Amino acid sequence: MSVTSPLHLAVALEGTGWHPAAWREPGARPGDLLTAGYWADLAREAERGLLDFVTIEDSLGLQSSRPLEPDQRTDQVRGRLDAVLIAARVAPLTSGIGLVPTVVTTHTEPFHASKAIATLDYVATGRAGVRVQVTARPYEAALFGRRAVPPAAVLADRSAPAARAFLDGLLAEAADYVEVLRRLWDSWEDGAEIRDAATGRFIDRDKLHYIDFAGDYFAVRGPSITPRPPQGQPVVAALAHGPAAYRLAAGSADVAFVTPRDAADARAITAQLSREQEAAGRAGPLHVLADLVVFLDRTAAAAAARQARLDEQAGAAYRSDAAVFAGTPGDLADLLLDWQASGLSGFRLRPGTIPGDLRQVTGSLVPELQRRGAFRRGYEAATLRGLLGLPRPASRYAGAAASTREVPS
């Protein structure tokens, strides 16, 4: 079977895997979770599979099996390293794969994040992205003490007006956050650094610009202190489950992660995102990648049995916001190509166990997709934007009249 448009394929890295009992698998490395080598090994394995990028999960509170409250469990992985710092450490050890750490917008400042992701783009020589994420968890807000968050009981029913209004506000704030990121990345034009020792000029101050952003959630003057990233704009991604999140992804992101249950659902979601993109007045490309949790083995029975064994160890059947697939790499390839016809650009796979299911993706699924003409056989671009077929944008301030106010050098 061949397809006209090759798939984009990413992997979401989360601890020892997305199943809560994955850390107890014989091949797991829970003792290495807080080491740089562990994450470097995972990124290099994904790169061996020629994947477009990896995302790295993060949060501002301890992981929990409950959506809004801590669970006090000690039989599951708790604690993590900072995703942006992991990516910065891994970047020099990889050469082709994109690195997309998670940044939680709710309790952080966009100026700091813009500088961190721009720096990552330099360290990764143009392979950086950022996945923006919001949080409504009251216990995370309490760690900062800077904003009021409704109690978990109020937020539990997301259809209730108070909960919906609060969550919609978080997503609107995230949209402003991304706008500030993008303006700060543009605040240094290309070529602003002269670095001419003979004339004593290091920068062209006419190519540095105030962004003067004033919105409902942020007021940022700028400019950035980090010169324009190699990609101009690192890739922005967002996970979208419903209408307000679709607006965020369609209006602000380059890549949307979605969670369809079947091909028909995928078709409806991609159509909704297209409508939201049109309403936002965005003409540029938006890649839509479906998330799938995967348990892969030589036979479908073996994959299902392994998932069942993990469920027994966890004390409950595994549930996810994304569809869960247990089967062979060949069966998964069939599903991916079937769903792709619904308008998806590709998929972000969440390995049920790491490194086991990650290796099944790189060592078995990728060759099967290559055999079908559905996936690359080598990296065709040196930047993440290039791998995704996204153009390098010009700075929005390029050619603008120099500010009459002095911009610090």
| In the chain, domain spans | 8-133+231-387
Tens-level pLDDT at each residue, the chain (409 residues): 344 588 999 999 999 999 999 999 999 999 999 999 999 999 999 999 999 999 999 999 999 999 999 999 999 999 999 999 999 999 999 999 999 999 999 999 999 999 999 999 999 999 999 999 999 999 999 999 989 899 999 999 988 999 999 999 999 999 999 999 999 999 999 999 999 999 999 999 999 999 999 999 999 999 999 999 999 999 999 999 999 999 999 999 999 999 999 999 999 999 999 999 999 998 879 999 999 999 999 999 999 999 999 999 999 999 999 999 999 999 999 999 999 999 999 999 999 999 999 999 999 999 999 999 999 999 999 999 999 999 999 999 998 754 434 454 4
Which residues 6+ apart lie within 8 Å of 89 measured at CB? 36, 39, 40
> What's the chain's length in residues?
409
User: 337 Cβ partners below 8 Å, 6+ apart?
Assistant: 1, 3, 7, 372, 374
Euclidean distance between the first and the last CA atom of the chain, given in angstroms as a whole number = 57
**Would you state the pLDDT for residue 365?**
98
Question: Measuring CA to CA, which residue among 292, 277, 294 is closest to residue 351?
Answer: 294
Burial of 26 (0-12, 13-18, 19+ CB in 10 A): exposed
**Six token digits for residue 86:** 């992991």
pLDDT value of residue 401: 55
Two tokens, residue 40: 């470097």
For residue 56, the surrounding DSSP H or E stretch is strand 53-56
pLDDT the model gives residue 298: 97
User: Are 50 and 95 in contact, with CB atoms under 8 Å apart?
Assistant: no
Rg of the chain, C-alpha, whole Å:
22
Report the top-level CATH class of 8-133+231-387.
alpha beta
Res 389: pLDDT: 97
